Amino acid sequence: MSDKYDLVVIGSGPAGYVAAIKAAQMGLKTACVEQWVNDKDTVQLGGTCLNVGCIPSKALLDSSHKFTEVRDGLAVHGITVKKPEFDVATMLARKDKIIAQLTGGIAGLFKHNGVTAIAGKAKVLVGTKVQVTDAKGNVQELQAGNIIIAAGSLPVSIPPAPIDNEYIIDSTGALALTEVPGRLGVIGAGVIGLELGSVWRRLGSEVVMLEALDDFLPMMDMQIAKEAGKIFKKQGLDIRLGARVTKAEVKKGRVVVTYATAEGEHTETFDKLIVAVGRKPNSQGLFASDSGVTLDERGFIYVNDYCETEAPHVYAVGDIVRGPMLAHKGSEEGVMVVERILGEQAQMNYDCIPSVIYTHPEIAAVGRTEQELTADGVEYKIGVFPFAASGRALAANDAEGMVKLIAHAETDRILGCHILGASAADLVQQVVIAMEFGSSAEDLALTVFGHPTLSEAVHEAALAVDGHAIHIANRKKR
Ligand code: NAD
């Protein structure tokens, strides 16, 4: 006899656990299957985000940022500190404590809401059945009314630089280095490369980033990416564009990396090499061949706008389906699916998903970039406000970067916002809300913003769209 559930969720990352909690709140009998088992032999909830992704990386980014503040940022305030020291073990222990607190919190929420956590690897069978095999090889079958697959993603590896978990490491290994590498190589100057490269650079590593593309952060607004690149260079991140790694070999306890650029072949030697070249959907071995679930050509589970797979009552959400690999995108998809299972007409607004790179300053974005609009032939107008003209940013001695707001040339509707600056992640959220409500730049411009705040830069950028900024000289109208 198989156990029966209204909903079986596969995976307990932000896409899966949020869907499971939501479903249980709404009265569905819900189980969440998770294959991750911790050293106490119990199921470890939270997925990549909580265990080896968003949260631990932010913990290390915050610790290392505080260190640079003490080392380099206090003299200007009149505070002198004798040579500060850094203890990596304490930083890692703090990170682990945060992970334990948050993953334990999910276990508590599951209990409170009545979600059954099941340890093991799940496989979707025909007829909305789920087979679960635990670490000891025991197999059980669950009969589900509906299934949500939220099995997430895995780091991509490249043949020239195979991960050995000692010298050549992926993002997981880069969160657990027990000492600061003297020279650190990073393959890929994307989100993970920049965040983890920043952590170790701040703690003293000499960091060289090898990026295959000729453009830096091509998915970001070009103006913001260019400005960010200059700031990161000043911080000592040696970012080499158009650099394709062809070989990485461990020799005498160091990694010798060969890479090619337009100028020819080069070699560099590092103490550690981080491979951060993207992530791929974790869709292998997840379903029986007759399950009805199909994959697209890149291995993502094929779904429609409502996250329905080709198999009835089987849904897929988060990193394992098309769209940006962002925790909050997966969570919202999970909520949408649960609401649709319950008969509501819920849908996602994929045009309004913010994304952030947690460097310092942060880079945050929502909506379209200037280059995308140009390519699509959309007429637009822009308003830019630099933090150097913000009283709050100057008072905080944190005045690098800018807010850039893009609005439609005729309708004035906000099409995008791109922020480089302290607290950009939180600042962009107010534009996300405005966009959700179909706001024009003028609507934002007519809104009262508190003074003195960093948010005033968003207000001024909105004013600048029509040449009405107060605290900068406006561009002459075209
Ligand atoms: P990414 O796509 O952001 O960056 C990977 C980079 O590696 C790209 O610039 C790519 O051109 C480069 N690259 C690929 N192959 C290469 C090669 N052979 N040699 C040199 N460069 C190469 O991917 P990521 O940084 O690994 O992150 C993976 C996913 O996780 C992304 O979708 C990202 O959005 C998500 N993520 C998000 C956050 C956040 O929201 N703050 C943090 C971490 C990761």
Tell me how far the alpha carbon of residue 354 lies from the centroid of ligand 1, in angstroms.
Answer: 17
18 Cβ neighbours under 8 A, 6+ residues apart: 330, 331, 334, 335
Tell me how far the alpha carbon of residue 194 lies from the centroid of ligand 1, in angstroms.
Answer: 9
| pLDDT by 10s per residue, the chain, length 478 | 579 999 999 999 999 999 999 999 999 999 999 999 998 889 999 999 999 999 999 999 999 999 999 999 999 999 999 999 999 999 999 999 999 999 999 999 999 999 999 999 999 999 999 999 999 999 999 999 999 999 999 999 999 999 999 999 999 999 999 999 999 999 999 999 999 999 999 999 999 999 999 999 999 999 999 999 999 999 999 999 999 999 999 999 999 999 999 999 999 999 999 999 999 999 999 999 999 999 999 999 999 999 999 999 999 999 999 999 999 999 999 999 999 999 999 999 999 999 999 999 999 999 999 999 999 999 999 999 999 999 999 999 999 999 999 999 999 999 999 999 999 999 999 999 999 999 999 999 999 999 999 999 999 999 999 999 999 999 765 5
451 counts as catalytic? yes
**Ligand 1: residues whose CB is within 6 Å?**
158, 187-193, 195, 210-213, 244-245, 276-279, 324-326, 355-358
Which class for 352: exposed (0-12), middle (13-18), buried (19 or more C-beta within 10 A)? middle
Ligand 1 atom with the shortest distance to the CA of 327:
40
- Whole-angstrom Cα distance, residue 288 to residue 302? 15
Tell me how far the alpha carbon of residue 433 lies from the centroid of ligand 1, in angstroms.
Answer: 27
Q: How far is CA 172 from CA 2, 176, 195, in A?
A: 36, 7, 13
Domains and CATH numbers, the chain: 3-155+280-348 (3.50.50.60), 168-277 (3.50.50.60), 352-464 (3.30.390.30)
Please give the DSSP secondary-structure letter assigned to residue 413.
B
